[in-house]
Amino acid sequence: MLQAGLMMDRPLLISGIIEHAAAQFGDVEVVSRETHGPLFRYTYEQCAARSRKLANALKGLGLEAGSAVGSIAWNNHRHLEAYFAVSGSGMVMHTCNPRLAPQQLIYIINHAEDAAMLFDSTFAPLIKGIAPYCPKVKNWICLSDAANMPAIEGVSMVCYEDLIAPHSELFDWPEFDERSGAALCYTSGTTGNPKGALYSHRAIVINAISGCLPGILSLSPSDAILPVVPMFHINAWCIPYAAPIGGARLVLPGPRLDGASLYELMEGERVTVSAGVPTIWLGLMQYVEEHGLRFSTMKRTGVGGSAMPAALIAKFVDNYGVEVRHGWGMTETTAVATMSCLSPKNRELSPVEQHAVIARQGKSVFGTEIKVVDEYGATLPRDGVAQGELMVRGQWIVSGYYKGEVSPLVDGWFPTGDIATIDAHGVMQIRDRAKDVIKTGGEWISSIDLESAAMGHPAVAMAAVIGVKHPKWDERPLLFVVRKPGKTVEREEILAFLTERVAKWWVPDDVIFLEALPVGGAGKVQKGDLRKQYGGVFS
Ligand code: AMP
Enumerate the β-bridge partners of residue 533. Answer: none
Can you give the pLDDT at residue 528? 86
Which residue in the list 439, 443, 487, 505 is annotated as catalytic? 439
Q: Work out the pLDDT band at 189, boundaries 50, 70, 90.
A: low
Residue 201, pLDDT > 90, answer yes
Residue type, 231: M
Can you give the pLDDT at residue 88? 98
Q: Work out the pLDDT band at 191, boundaries 50, 70, 90.
A: low
For 184-195, what is the HEC assignment? EEECCCCCCCCC
Q: Helices in 139-223 by DSSP H: which ranges? A: 160-164, 201-211
Active site residue 332: yes
Q: Work out the pLDDT band at 25, boundaries 50, 70, 90.
A: very high
Contacts of 531 (CB under 8 A, 6+ apart): 466, 468
Is 470 in a helix, a strand, or coil?
A: strand
Instruction: Please tell me if the domain spanning 361-433 has the same topology as the one spanning 438-534.
Output: no
Q: Work out the pLDDT band at 288, boundaries 50, 70, 90.
A: very high
What separation in angstroms does the CA of 491 have from each of 301, 343, 371, 460, 529? 33, 39, 39, 12, 22
Q: How many A from CA of 180 to the centre of ligand 1? A: 26
Active site residue 439: yes
Region 450-472 average pLDDT: 92
Can you give the pLDDT at residue 101? 84
Task: From 24, 19, 76, select the one nearest 51 (Cα to Cα).
Answer: 19
Q: How many A from CA of 416 to the centre of ligand 1? A: 9
- pLDDT above 90 covers a percentage of the chain that reads 86
Q: How many A from CA of 418 to the centre of ligand 1? A: 8
Is 433 near ligand 1, meaning CB less than 6 Å away? yes
pTM of the model: 0.91
Residue 229, pLDDT > 90, answer yes
Query: Per CATH, is 9-26+42-199 categorized as 3.30.565.10?
Result: no
Region 215-240 average pLDDT: 97
Enumerate the β-bridge partners of residue 185. Answer: 197
Under 8 Å between Cβ of 44 and 263: no
Q: How many A from CA of 445 to the centre of ligand 1? A: 18
What separation in angstroms does the CA of 269 have from each of 34, 205, 208, 303, 325? 15, 27, 23, 20, 21
Which residue in the list 34, 81, 332, 389 is annotated as catalytic? 332
Under 8 Å between Cβ of 449 and 304: no
Under 8 Å between Cβ of 475 and 438: yes
Phi and psi (nearest 5°) for 23? Answer: -80, -40
Mean pLDDT of the chain: 95
Active site residue 444: yes
Q: How many A from CA of 225 to the centre of ligand 1? A: 22
Q: How many A from CA of 199 to the centre of ligand 1? A: 18
Under 8 Å between Cβ of 94 and 69: yes
Is 430 near ligand 1, meaning CB less than 6 Å away? yes
Is 340 near ligand 1, meaning CB less than 6 Å away? no
Can you give the pLDDT at residue 190? 58
The per-residue b/e assignment along 341-362, b for 16 or more CB within 10 angstroms, e otherwise, is beeeebeeeeeeebbbbbbbbb
The per-residue b/e assignment along 71-106, b for 16 or more CB within 10 angstroms, e otherwise, is bbbbbbbbbbbbbbbbbbbbbbbbbbbbbbeeebbb
Region 322-346 average pLDDT: 96
Is 331 near ligand 1, meaning CB less than 6 Å away? yes
Can you give the pLDDT at residue 22? 98
Region 319-345 average pLDDT: 96
pLDDT greater at residue 533 or residue 69: 69
Region 63-69 average pLDDT: 97
Determine which of 76-85, 376-385, 480-489 has the lowest per-residue pLDDT on average.
480-489
Distance from C-alpha of 342 to C-alpha of 354, rounded to nearest angstrom: 7
Region 193-219 average pLDDT: 96
Q: Work out the pLDDT band at 523, boundaries 50, 70, 90.
A: confident
Q: Work out the pLDDT band at 221, boundaries 50, 70, 90.
A: very high
Residue 374, pLDDT > 80, answer yes
Is 361 near ligand 1, meaning CB less than 6 Å away? yes
Distance from C-alpha of 400 to C-alpha of 412, rounded to nearest angstrom: 11
Residue 429, pLDDT > 90, answer yes
Task: Indicate the class that CATH gives domain 438-534.
Answer: alpha beta
Residue 337, pLDDT > 90, answer yes
The DSSP code for 1 is -
Distance from C-alpha of 285 to C-alpha of 269, rounded to nearest angstrom: 18
Is 390 near ligand 1, meaning CB less than 6 Å away? no
Q: How many A from CA of 328 to the centre of ligand 1? A: 6
Pocket test for ligand 1, best of 328, 338, 341, 432 (most atoms within 8 A of CB): 328
Is 304 near ligand 1, meaning CB less than 6 Å away? yes
Transcribe 297-343 into DSSP letters.
Answer: S--EEEE-SSPPPHHHHHIIIIIH--EEEEEEE-GGGSSEEEE----
Q: Which atom of ligand 1 is nearest the CA belonging to 234?
A: 4
Task: From 43, 16, 53, select the one nearest 169 (Cα to Cα).
Answer: 53
Would you list the domain boundaries of the chain?
9-26+42-199, 361-433, 438-534
Residue type, 320: Y
Q: Which fold has domain 361-433?
A: Luciferase; domain 3 (2.30.38)
Is 305 near ligand 1, meaning CB less than 6 Å away? yes
Is 494 near ligand 1, meaning CB less than 6 Å away? no
Q: Work out the pLDDT band at 86, boundaries 50, 70, 90.
A: very high
Is 418 near ligand 1, meaning CB less than 6 Å away? yes
Is 428 near ligand 1, meaning CB less than 6 Å away? no
Residue 538, pLDDT > 80, answer no
Under 8 Å between Cβ of 469 and 459: no
* Helix axes of 44-60 and 77-88: crossing angle, nearest 10 degrees: 60
Pocket test for ligand 1, best of 100, 190, 312, 330 (most atoms within 8 A of CB): 330
Residue 73, pLDDT > 80, answer yes
What's the pLDDT tens digit per position in 89-129? 999 999 999 988 899 999 999 999 999 999 999 999 999 99
Residue 502, pLDDT > 90, answer no
Is 188 near ligand 1, meaning CB less than 6 Å away? yes
Pocket test for ligand 1, best of 100, 104, 306 (most atoms within 8 A of CB): 306
The DSSP code for 380 is P
Measured distance between the N- and C-terminal CA atoms of the chain, rounded to whole angstroms: 68
Pocket test for ligand 1, best of 184, 281, 326, 418 (most atoms within 8 A of CB): 418
Q: How many A from CA of 105 to the centre of ligand 1? A: 21
Residue 237, pLDDT > 90, answer yes
Is 22 in a helix, a strand, or coil?
A: helix
